[in-house]
Amino acid sequence: MSDIVTITPNPAVDVSTTVEKIVPVAKLRGTTQRRDPGGGGINVARVITRLGGDVTALYPVGGPTGQLLKQLVEKEGVTGRTWTTAEDTREDFFVQERATGQPYRFILPGPTLTAAEWQAGLTLLAGLDPFPRFVIGSGSLPHGVPTDFYARVARLARSRGAQFVLDTSGPALAAAVAGGVDLIKPSLREMQEFVGGELPDAMAWEDAARTLVTTGKAGTVALTMGHLGALLVTSDRVLRAQPLTMVPVNAVGAGDSFLGALVAKLAADVPLEDAFRFAVAAGAAALLRTGTALCAPADISRLLADVRLQTA
């Protein structure tokens, strides 16, 4: 079994295109067409695979869309293990407007899972032998899945001696960190939702992350903040990454690229500071690609020298 396993309860087929301008009523003819396997954990697994990491993606599939998703995952070279749902896997839709460069993201709700269906995902994870060193839970929860799904994954990982890494938001995040997780990767918006208020400056960002660490809710907090850079907080250090000077083409997939690169390096026993630096470069590299393409290793290598870290 792989060193790293991702679990994605609400995967998707991501469809992306480019149009000249978005206007109502008129037929908007796309000038490009792309389909990628999507959902947080699948995206993270795509990045880890590109970086040479040993990863397996666990995810449900339903109907023709689910079969297409499975084919797209295999096409990316990602090892996958699936379970079946009665309702179809969702599709998401991304449109880049050429006139303004603005991206538009349409995220569909996905299927409703029965108790037997979401429990099948936990059973699949529990049956892995040997068990992975890292388990990554990422993405939203579909209808029917209890808020504490990721908390259950965290307890399972802990009982098997694995590190649990989480990238989600809202009640699912709150339920998981209540019992403690090894690493979380919220965006600034997700962190503000979690604390229930605005975080206006660097001191507030650090305080929110430190509180999660000192209260035992997270061993490490990796906070991604878009054009404001990134922050990594552990019990004994704070690392701040300045934003890279660049003109972004697209914002889709930056967080997943960051997390995939971070865990790939941690699994390779790279020191935390170097892994964080690499993750920042990967997140920035995703901004250079259109649609849902995620980061490219060549772009990461080129941007790595530009990453500047400060230690608090």
- DSSP one-letter string for 51-102: TT--EEEEEEE-HHHHHHHHHHHHHTT-EEEEEE-SSPPEEEEEEEETTT--
What are the Cα distances from residue 203, in Å, to 139, 181, 207, 210?
A: 28, 23, 6, 10
Tell me the domain boundaries of the chain.
4-311
pTM of the model: 0.95
Domain 4-311 has CATH 3.40.1190.20: yes
Q: Specify the amino acid at residue 275.
A: A
Assign 247 a pLDDT band (cuts: 50, 70, 90).
confident
What is the pLDDT, as a whole number, of residue 249?
A: 76
* Dihedral sign from CA coordinates of 100, 185, 151, 49: positive
Residue 240, pLDDT above cutoff 70: yes
Instruction: Determine the average pLDDT of the residues in 261-268.
Output: 98
Residue 248, pLDDT above cutoff 80: no
What is the pLDDT, as a whole number, of residue 42?
A: 98
Q: How far is CA 29 from the centre of its chain?
A: 30
Assign 1 a pLDDT band (cuts: 50, 70, 90).
low
User: Who contacts 109 (Cβ-Cβ below 8 Å, separation ≥6)?
Assistant: 90, 142, 143
Compute the mean pLDDT over every residue in the chain, rounded to the nearest whole number: 94
Among residues 70, 155, 134, 86, the alpha carbon closest in space to that of 263 is found at 134
What are the Cα distances from residue 115, in Å, to 21, 58, 122?
A: 43, 17, 11
First to last CA, the chain: 38
What is the pLDDT, as a whole number, of residue 297?
A: 96
Bridge-partner residues for 240, per DSSP?
231, 310
Q: Which one is catalytic: 92, 182, 256, 299?
A: 256
Instruction: For residue 256, indicate whether it is catalytic.
Output: yes
Q: Mean pLDDT check: name the lowest of 50-64, 78-92, 225-239.
A: 225-239
Share of the chain above pLDDT 90, in %: 81
